[in-house]
Amino acid sequence: MDVLEAIMTRRSIRSYTGEIIKEEDLRIILQAGFQAPSAHNFEPREYVVISDRDTIERIAGFHKYAQMLPKAGCGIVVCGDQTKQSEMGFLVEDCSASIQNMLLASHGLGLGAVWCGLYSVKKLTDAMADILRLPDHIIPIGMVVVGVRDREKDAVDRYDESKIHFDRWREE
Amino acid sequence: MDVLEAIMTRRSIRSYTGEIIKEEDLRIILQAGFQAPSAHNFEPREYVVISDRDTIERIAGFHKYAQMLPKAGCGIVVCGDQTKQSEMGFLVEDCSASIQNMLLASHGLGLGAVWCGLYSVKKLTDAMADILRLPDHIIPIGMVVVGVRDREKDAVDRYDESKIHFDRWREE
């Protein structure tokens, strides 16, 4: 699938067949995550792949927008390492770029995926850090849930000219 | 270009011919930005396209990693609207997803682009907000600099198995 087509047609997919995704597809999705840029090229990202049933149930138990996880192929929690990037904004940006790459790669592979936000909602990051036994310097930023989608979703055009400004802010 | 190829081969490009990018390419890049997901679908992003010479010089004057801007085709500052998304982490994530889409779209169009970080470095966000006359609730998160690249850059493989964990954190 062409990159522009992938960007324009990708949708958040929360409904799956329950099949486990193939190991080679998981590897491609993770590779896509690593390929994202990072500030100063510090690459401060760590990935926790979730496929154990108990871990899945515990995550679905605390995150109300992760209820689809038990029927997905897996979850991938993208974490930022504060010892590699101490500027918190950059850490979030680096992890987010990685997540967006993984969403697009999943779509390109014909899979469905969705981004479940974690940071900066403290009760979500605390619960996830506890379940995954993350050290204090590893901050869970977001989770990609990916699976074999059980239906197609039409593309949506989100372009909005009123949000484009030239050289300085102008209210419409 | 295939989406997976685009993700795997995209590099940060900081060296340009000085040509202005075509209006239709700029529109596709902005469209790609809008197509990124956002938490709760709030779409809290605003875009300021920088092409005025004076504005370009002022930005290059304060941002030491934006020195390539005068030779680029344009800059696009992606801002988050705090009245639409009050959770700052999500606001940064939404803007970052949008920026990553724009970098990939630029690469897909055969252009070169790079992400210049702003948030959360206060002196950078303050200077940018001042130059663009942003209201207080509009936070500049990052700037995409895009142009006609003056050379190719080889792909780099950033995959690192030591950063992949399964179900819980394990140190190597």
pLDDT, one tens digit per residue, over A61-105 is 999 999 999 999 899 999 999 999 999 999 999 999 999 999 999
Chain A's closest residue to B143, CA to CA, is A93
Q: What is the mean pLDDT of residues A128-150?
A: 98
Q: What is the pLDDT of residues B66-90, one digit of tens each?
A: 999 999 989 999 999 999 999 999 9
Residue A7 touches partner B, C-beta closer than 8 Å = yes
Nearest CB to B46: which of A105, A141, A163?
A163
* Vertex B159 angle, CA B154 and B161, to 5°: 160
Q: What is the mean pLDDT of residues A26-31?
A: 98
A162 CB burial (10 A radius; 0-12, 13-18, 19+): exposed
Global pTM value: 0.98
Q: What is the pLDDT of residues A35-49, one digit of tens each?
A: 999 999 999 999 999
Distances (CA, A) of A13 to A41, A44, A134, B33: 31, 27, 27, 19
Cβ proximity of B78 and B98 under 8 Å: yes
The dotted CATH code for B18-151 is 3.40.109.10
Please state, in angstroms and rounded to a whole number, the distance separating the CA atoms of residues B111 and B109. Answer: 6
Q: Which of residues 22-81 of B touch A (CB under 8 A)?
A: 28, 30-32, 34-37, 39, 43, 45-52, 55
Averaged confidence pLDDT in chain A: 97
Which residues face A140 on adjacent strands? Answer: A79
Q: What does residue A136 show for φ and ψ, rounded to 5 degrees?
A: -60, -30
Provide the residue-wise pLDDT of chain B in tens; the chain has 172 residues: 999 999 999 999 999 999 999 999 999 999 999 999 999 999 999 999 999 999 999 999 999 999 999 999 899 999 999 999 999 999 999 999 999 999 999 999 999 999 999 999 999 999 999 999 999 999 999 999 999 999 889 999 999 999 999 999 987 5
Per DSSP, B39 falls in state G
Domain range A19-150, CATH architecture: 3-Layer(aba) Sandwich (3.40)
What pLDDT does A110 receive?
Answer: 97
Q: How confident is the model at residue A170 (pLDDT cuts 50, 70, 90)?
A: confident
CB pairs under 8 A between A and B: 220
Domain ranges for chain B, please list them.
18-151
* Vertex A143 angle, CA A89 and A22, to 5°: 135
Percentage of chain A beyond pLDDT 90 is: 97
Tally Cβ neighbours within 10 Å of residue B155: 12
